[in-house]
Amino acid sequence: MRHVSFVDDNDVTLLESGTAFFPALIAALDAAQYDVLFETYIFAEDPTGDMVRDALIRAAQRGVKVRVLVDWIGTEHGPSQRLGAIFAQAGVQYRVFNPWCKRGIARSHRKIAVVDRTVAFVGGINVNDDWLCDHAAHQRLAAPRWDFTVQVRGPLVAQIHDEAQGQWLRAGRLKLKQRIELFKEMRKEPPQTCKYPARAAFVVRDNLRNRSTIQRAYLQALGRAKHSVLLATPYFAPGRKFRKALAHAARRGVQVTLLIGVGEFHIQDAVAHSFYPKLLADGIKVVEYRKTQLHAKVAVVDDDWATVGSSNCDGLSLFLNQEANVVVLDERFAATMRAHIERAILDGVPVRAEEFAHIGWLRRASYGAAYMVYKLIMRIFAIGYA
């Protein structure tokens, strides 16, 4: 397992939802001169997807080396095939991660873009319309999906580029000459400029060297927490170590608040509900976000630790999927992230301990059964979940 390695002198800008992310992304793509590495879980066939697709094509037609990697499960077979045909005609290099689950059930849940090795985007935002539910394409949301990405400039971009390059290589087959050429490209390091220097780390989860790196980053931050933890996640079903770390922080006087998305998948809600009595008994505040689809995977610990990325706090993300987060050690960035989460908490519904005291035995049993099924599945497919 790799340790979390921080580097100094990075500009890290928080982008809230697609209204901020897609204009910044397209501006970077339209300014690209050398190469683009682009990864996403969902690449939708909607106006937002068309807009990003066209920007990638414009870059390729200018002679930029554009490489796009999508996940087969997230983008789905038909759309991924149609997108590949369009990109092939436009000169965009394109690959699909784990088609037909030939490499097991692992998904590439990462959302990464690196342009000219000078700017990178990492977060939780897929390429789809903020107003449309991402698991029911024609269902309009009550409000735009709540999610985040960070724009990074500085030395950390080189690490993000190398990891994206490695993922591209792992997703397909290249001849030796092509691998040598790509290795030479990875050695080039363009000059970086930094306006607001921040310490940051790029952490990924895979099934090789980084099986627990993202969870390790969380556990270290929770173990050092002194006064507050704010954590927002669409799905809450972490393993025992993660839950214990939250409980231990709360018991030593840290104010721990979980903002959890609900209403998307009933089985996932039931699993999360199975944890509520213990969380509340440990002094953890639980808030359910009901305004719209919560897709953000973000957290702030104390005044200077924050993370933004693709990893949910559940078994799939922490023990099975390919994921990518950026961790930032910076008071300015943490304050910005904290303000966003606190506003979202005001839009949520606090869960009261007394509510569970009056839940009928049948519903309580259904929550427990949902957790047992989920736990069994995770133990079969994800090593380390408990």
Residues marked active site are found at 109, 111, 116, 295, 297, 302
Within a 13 Å sphere around the CA of 302, how many CA atoms are in the beta-carbon half? 17
Enter the DSSP assignment of 347.
T
Q: Which of 208, 266, 257, 205 is nearest to 235 (CA)?
A: 266
Give the residue ranges of DSSP H helices in 171-226: 176-187, 213-224
Helices (H) and strands (E) in the chain, counts: 13, 17
- Burial class of residue 283, CB neighbours in 10 A (0-12, 13-18, 19+): middle
> Two tokens at 229?
């933890």
- Chain centroid, CA 378 distance in Å: 19
Neighbouring C-beta atoms of residue 303, cutoff 10 Å: 14
- The C-alpha torsion from 343 through 344 and 346 to 348, rounded to 10°, is 180
Q: Which residue has the tokens 């066209």?
A: 54
